[in-house]
Amino acid sequence: MMKQRLGANIRALATGLALVAGVGPALAQQTDAEKEIEKYRAMINDPMANPGYLSVDRGEVLWTQKRGAKNVGLETCDLGEGPGKIEGAFAKLPRYFKDADRVMDLEQRLLHCMKTIQELDTADVVRRRFGGPNYTSDMQDLVAYIANKSNGMKYQPQLSHPKEQEMLAAGEALFNRRAGVMDFSCNTCHGESGKRIRLQGLPDFAKPGKDARETMGSWPTYRVSQSQTRTMQHRLWDCYRQMRHPVPEYGSDGITALTVYMVKMAEGGEITVPSIKR
């Protein structure tokens, strides 16, 4: 009996050593791959070679373009810093707006201004909310232009109003809420450091820190794989799609609440946009 137990222990030890020996090269390959990905990111992270700046230029034109029944531009749109003031506005969004009695992110606020200031039928803007192979998105271009005016500034979450505090609580609840056919939540992928999908590292949004600051500070971004400038609205929409949840309505309060939570986790993070990603 003792010989059998000894033999079993030796076999178990041998199996364990074999597994460790196999894991070593795998970890080394993973580390090498990560280094190569960082080299690739450094190569493409050049503002002079970033097509996202074409969106910034188009957004600048759209900001002043006369449209809608009133045939006016958006220069009097108040993004929180006063009518027409866009420098630093993105760094304090989402926030509460008294005229709408709502907490809004940038895209919600722009839709509001289009309707109230320009009296623009926004159906086409919403239809093209995410650019495709044959068309650009006014909203993505406007967000790129306005967000770029906060470059070098740090995220300053606005949480003094009770409705802003309610949105933060709702956003945290949504981040942790499991649902859908896969029983996933945002926390499933982004609830701790060191997680990844294949070679793609997943930022940790369960607590304030470097991951959240660097991630939020880099959106909107130009996605090389999609040949489009993408906003956080698109990123969250795509996350829900990949989790097999019902996709959220564009400009929904739920997405804004989740953004409030993520900005809180990213407090103090520097904004550098549009960035460029794979």
Going by pLDDT thresholds of 50, 70 and 90, the confidence category of residue 42 is low
CA-to-CA distance for 147 and 163, rounded, in angstroms? 23
Mean pLDDT of 174-192: 95
CA-to-CA distance for 268 and 153, rounded, in angstroms? 9
Strand pairing partners for 14? none
Mark whether 239 is an active-site residue. yes
**Tens digits of per-residue pLDDT, 15-30?**
443 444 444 454 455 5
Global confidence as pTM:
0.85
CB 151 within 8 A of CB 272: yes
Question: How many other C-beta atoms can be found within 10 angstroms of the C-beta atom of residue 153?
Answer: 18
- Mean pLDDT across the chain, nearest whole number? 88
Among the listed residues 113, 186, 189, 239, the single catalytic one is: 239
Which residue has better confidence, 64 or 46? 64
Mean pLDDT of 247-253: 95
Q: In the prediction, which pLDDT does 5 show?
A: 44
**Tens digits of per-residue pLDDT, 94-127?**
999 999 999 999 999 999 999 999 999 999 999 9
Q: Which amino acid is at 45?
A: N
Mean pLDDT of 235-244: 95
Handedness of CA 222, 67, 151, 236 (dihedral sign): negative
